[in-house]
Amino acid sequence: MISNHDISGPLILVTGANGFVGQALCAALERRGQRVRRALRVARPPAGAADSVTVGDLDAATAWDAALRGVDTVIHLAARTHDIHETGEDALAAYRKTNVEGTRRLAEAASGAGVRRFVFMSSVKVNGERTTGRPFSEADTPRPEDAYGLTKWEAEQTLRQIAEQTGMEYVVLRAPLVYGPGVKGNFLRLMQWVAQQRPLPLASVDNRRSLIYLDNLVDAIIMCAQGPAAAGGTYLVGDAESPSTPALVRALTAALGVRDRLLPCPQAALKLGAMLLGRSAEFARLTGSLVLDSTKIGRELGWKPRFSLAEGLAITAQWYHAQVRPRSPTE
């Protein structure tokens, strides 16, 4: 057990430190003996946090001077996250305010404060929403389709421009869906549905979807922050397995210790039902393929996922049984 007095070395600033990934990342860094400063939107530092700064909302006016004092590396996780219900110009403006202008402000302040390296957490949605025939790679032309993916791509370009002008090192990491203890959103709803052994008409779906276990992503972020070879790199990162939706559901049933309730149903019928219910976006994610190739980060940085899909789901299921009341997914 490393105490606060044992932590030394370069100071790392983590934005979004109270988030799903941020909490796990800060804990992992401190276990490795790293000095961590948490940048928080509101003043709610976790128990035992030795160094935290409240910065408020992320936008073009955020004051970063106190947070960046003495910092060697910035790991920028904070963002306006994806919401399928937000559409239109107003939504795009809101995403740009946080994801683009907020990132620009932080990158400019970081370079001015002498920060050596800036690691930016982006998304596979920069590449696009679906793959056909082959996985996405870093060499592909970005084709974002929604406000979240578009503003992540714009933020990447903004960071790259600032870094090239100032000499600050930068690294971009694009991840797919992240799961693990503390997961929320659609993955948690799927777990609830499976745990209650509700029928899922997905047995006939033939697709592949990349995802990444939380601790595998944390390992990749730390490598991007510390590896000399990472400077200037853009990396796609995902678990070794890219399961089909039925395979993921079966793996979840095994992890949760329940019976498989997958049922066959023609995809055309599923698509029509989803359209009538206004859930076409959810249908696309459940039935379409989105696969990424993590070869580059493995080759250049030596990263490989420590946890398999089965191991990651088993740990997530233990957390679910211990912490989550198995509510109906419609609650």
Active site members:
148
Return the amino acid letter for 179: Y
Q: How far apart are CA 213 and CA 220, in angstroms?
A: 11
- The greatest distance separating any two alpha carbons of the chain, rounded to the nearest whole angstrom, comes to 61
Contact 253, 260 (CB under 8 A): yes
Using alpha carbons, select from 101, 46, 100, 34 the residue that is nearest to residue 73. 34
Q: For residue 56, how many C-alpha atoms fall within 13 Å in the half-sphere facing its CB?
A: 8
Q: In what order do the strands lie in the sheet with 8-15?
A: 52-54, 34-40, 8-15, 71-76, 117-123, 169-175, 234-236
Tokens of 195: 């745990």
Q: How far apart are CA 186 and CA 184, in angstroms?
A: 7
- 214-226 and 20-31 helices cross at what angle (nearest 10)? 60
Report which secondary-structure segment, H or E, holds 40.
strand 34-40
Cα torsion angle, 319, 321, 322, 327, sign? positive
Return the amino acid letter for 1: M
